[in-house]
Amino acid sequence: MEYKISDKMINMKPSAIREIFKSLGTPGAISFAAGNPAPESFPVADMQRISAEIFANQAVQALQYSVTEGYPRLREQVKARLREKFGIGSENDDLIIVTGGQQGIELSCKVLCNEGDTVIAENPSFIGALNAFRSLGAKIKGVTLQDDGIDIKELEQTLRENPDAKLLYVIPTFQNPAGLTTSLEKRKEIYRLAQKYDVVILEDNPYGELRFAGEDLPTIKKLDTDGRVLYCGSFSKVLSAGMRIGFLLGPKELIQKVVVAKQVEDVHTNIFFQILCSRYMDECDMDAHVEEIRALYRKKAGFMLECLDKYMPECVSYTRPEGGLFLWCTLPDSISLMDFVRRAGENLVFVVPGTAFNCDESAGSQSFRLNYSMPSMEEIEKGIRILGDLVREMA
Amino acid sequence: MEYKISDKMINMKPSAIREIFKSLGTPGAISFAAGNPAPESFPVADMQRISAEIFANQAVQALQYSVTEGYPRLREQVKARLREKFGIGSENDDLIIVTGGQQGIELSCKVLCNEGDTVIAENPSFIGALNAFRSLGAKIKGVTLQDDGIDIKELEQTLRENPDAKLLYVIPTFQNPAGLTTSLEKRKEIYRLAQKYDVVILEDNPYGELRFAGEDLPTIKKLDTDGRVLYCGSFSKVLSAGMRIGFLLGPKELIQKVVVAKQVEDVHTNIFFQILCSRYMDECDMDAHVEEIRALYRKKAGFMLECLDKYMPECVSYTRPEGGLFLWCTLPDSISLMDFVRRAGENLVFVVPGTAFNCDESAGSQSFRLNYSMPSMEEIEKGIRILGDLVREMA
């Protein structure tokens, strides 16, 4: 038969990143393409011990259906941690456990946006979020991301021109893909404009705990006086990405709707690993573990920057992230990005072209994203050297 | 601020069943309301052993990001099992692992239906599916469920009157909530009408392996000559519900779109438990385990029917399921269903009123659903006696 695909899904393609993923099997391949946390960052021994304890003491609870909102103790622990670490979460807020931050993003849009409504996002932005918005039939308007965060003037103009904008999606801290952090001044401006034009902000903060340089800044959620900010976080970068556990903190009224929306998507998140996370937070030193990951990424990011300084011709510029997993390189106009990415791949070095992160899918880019959490130090040096040589060849 | 909820979510309410769930904490409460598998049905010892093995041998793989399609070996194993047990799955079909059958249902609708399109379903039907369709802005048209399956004449009329119907959702085997099984003749008629009116069938079969009486019937998917049937299954009722692992088998072209839709919902399903399922299928005797569950439910369903025969006045009718988790009781018109359900709850016996399963939310019902997998034999006897006494009191 001939299939009639829904309008919202007909033009959706698999994420370029996930597709690159599949071509990584080749021996000797060096991937700077993934968004994977370092394998060393998983506290395997602790998780193994706790897993055995759960099977011994509460197996039935951990294998049976559970409530959509999430494991009650874990919800309390995450709320407490967000209060202590970030000073966020009020009496009017509630928190739901979701199947990874990705689900928190998708559900936020589902609850707030009709098909055809506008979501405003930094340009470039996280492809998983942009595709989630597209899959719900939302229109995406991108606003230029500058070194200190979104272009405020352009943001106001975009808000003015799009009265159907329901959601403003931002990653203010160690942005994906650019690795940039929004200044405090701009965080305040973003909140002020959201108030003025009456939109909800979705603050995505999967990397917030992974600062390895500079000083912490208040989240936008911390500035939230009128219950306008949904705050999305995740355990993917601190405990395990594969277990798929994230959380969404926000105004009770919105979280209640998110609960209903989640109920029909997957009933609840894997309860065994919710209990595991909860016991980990009870029994282990989460702060010490996060500190280890920070030290690891400080070393890896620092080394990738050293290698870039050493091997990359001056015509290539790049960001200097203070945390997170990514940095962002920009080629001179004389080099075709797509040719560069293709030839890098032929040399078994995989990077994601900036076009993948464009709000407007037809727009071009001169940038590409590099991940430093996943590759080894040897791979970082070798890969960056190959990319540097390639630029010299193509320039 | 005042929130503007999307049109599709504004009127959505939490599932009545999940809400009843929350009032079960009371000591002495007897729940016939859940859809939970028996706790004894989880192969805890095997899962515990395999879990330890995974942590010992492939922890990083089990905790890292993975591919959206699902753990490759598990996909092959499920395909093989579906081929062997049900004779389904062709070269033109593919299979994706989803976060519980619930996600398979929701994604099917997302890929096929625009907002405002019609989904046709048995009436009554599984509330989780109906709410998933509603959450995507689909209209639901119910077709009366008879003792041997959907009313074929009414189905044809509904298809004729709704040319925008994109999906026909059925649970032909041990239906939820009614516990009824669609006859082979009607399965063929359903397929024929789907061809005639060119709609896709979503065959939901979470209980298909749980037959404890009568003879297996071919699934509708087995009759699928033109790639018209999406077949949704789950590990929830045979290994663990809380791990949230299901699967969707269907035409490659549709499954490819489902993969993209899933990617933006949760990236992939908890990979640790996918590996665990796979190793369970490799190392343990799944058939023997399923046989044990069948024996358990044969005993429990048989005993609940005995108790109904003994304690329930003749004015109440009920189905006699040959498998699955549920049976369906109908009160005489002289008794108000909602009063009955409320008073049963006051007596600490919880049942789900049939209204929860109506395609038309404003319609009434004289029926209620009973679950026999979860309560103990003592609870079944005591609970049914209480319900019988209540009918006598109210009649």
Q: What is the CATH number of domain A7-43+288-394?
A: 3.90.1150.10
Phi, psi dihedrals of residue B125, rounded to the nearest 5° = -145, 175
- Cite the residue boundaries of each domain of chain A with CATH code 3.90.1150.10: 7-43+288-394
Cβ(B326)–Cβ(B370) below 8 Å: yes
Residues in chain A closer than 8 A to B247 (CB atoms): none
Question: What residue ranges of chain A are covered by domains with CATH 3.40.640.10?
Answer: 44-283
pLDDT lower than 50: segments of chain A: none
Here the tokens at position B322 are: 């040959």
What is the reported pLDDT for B242? 97
- Which among A9, A44, A100 has the least Cβ separation from residue B55? A44
Interface membership of B47 toward A (CB under 8 Å): yes
Q: Quick check: B21 pLDDT over 70? A: no
pLDDT digits (tens, 9 = 90+) for B46-72: 999 999 999 999 999 999 999 999 999
Q: Flag whether residue B258 sits within 8 Å of chain A, measured between CB atoms.
A: no
User: 3-class DSSP state for residue A52?
Assistant: helix
C-alpha angle B209-B211-B216 in degrees, rounded to nearest 5: 85
Q: Searching chain B, which residue's CA lies closest to the CA of residue A227? A: B1
Torsion angle of the four alpha carbons B18, B19, B25, B26, in this order, in degrees rounded to the nearest 10: -140
Q: Round to whole Å and give the CA distance between A84 and A107.
A: 26
Query: How far apart, in whole angstroms, are the C-alpha atoms of residue A342 and residue A152?
Result: 35
Q: What tens digit of pLDDT does each residue of B165-190 get? A: 999 999 999 999 999 999 999 999 99
Task: Report chain B's terminal Cα–Cα distance, integer Å.
Answer: 50
Using alpha carbons only, what angle is made at residue A322 by residues A211 and A287, rounded to the nearest 5 degrees?
10
- Which residues of chain A have a CB within 8 Å of the CB of B259? 14
Residues in chain A: 395
Q: Are A103 and B266 in contact (CB under 8 A)?
A: yes
**Do A48 and A247 contact (CB within 8 A), yes or no?**
no
Q: Do A65 and B268 touch (CB under 8 A)?
A: no
Residue range B34-38: mean pLDDT, rounded: 92
**C-alpha to C-alpha distance for A251 and A261, rounded to whole angstroms:** 15
Min Cα distance A334 → chain B (Å) is 34
Comparing B21-35, B48-62, B331-345, B360-374, which segment has the lowest mean pLDDT? B21-35
Architecture of domain A44-283: 3-Layer(aba) Sandwich (3.40)
Question: What distance in Å separates the CA atoms of residue A109 and residue B95, rounded to the nearest whole number?
Answer: 28
Q: CA of A340 to nearest chain B CA: how many angstroms apart? A: 26
How does residue B26 score in pLDDT terms, banded at 50, 70 and 90? confident
pLDDT band at B18 (very low <50, low <70, confident <90, very high): low
Q: Does B144 touch chain A (CB under 8 A)?
A: no
Contacts of residue B96, Cβ cutoff 8 Å, sequence gap at least 6: B68, B69, B70, B75, B104, B247, B248, B255, B258, B259, B262
Chain B residues near residue A251 by CB distance under 8 angstroms: 3
Cross-strand pairs, B247: B97, B233
Closest alpha carbon to A240 in A4, A375, A377, A44 = A44
Write out the H or E segment, with its range, that includes residue B80: helix B72-86
Kindly report each contact of residues A156-160 with a partner whose C-beta sits within 8 Å and lies 24 or more positions away, as own/partner. Answer: A156/A193, A156/A197, A158/A120, A159/A120, A159/A193, A159/A196, A159/A197, A159/A199, A160/A197
> Is it the case that residue B99 has pLDDT exceeding 70?
yes
Domain with CATH 3.40.640.10 in chain B: 47-283
Q: Is the ipTM of this complex over 0.95?
A: yes
pLDDT (0 to 100) of residue B22: 63
CATH topology of domain B47-283: Aspartate Aminotransferase; domain 2 (3.40.640)
Q: Which chain A residues in 331-350 lie under 8 Å from chain B, judged by CB atoms?
A: none
**What per-residue confidence (pLDDT) applies to A29?**
93
Structure tokens at A181: 């952090």
**pTM over the 0.90 mark:** yes
Give me the residue from A22, A198, A266 closest to B100, CB to CB: A266
What's the DSSP call for residue A31? E
Q: What proportion of chain B, given as a percentage, has pLDDT over 70?
A: 97
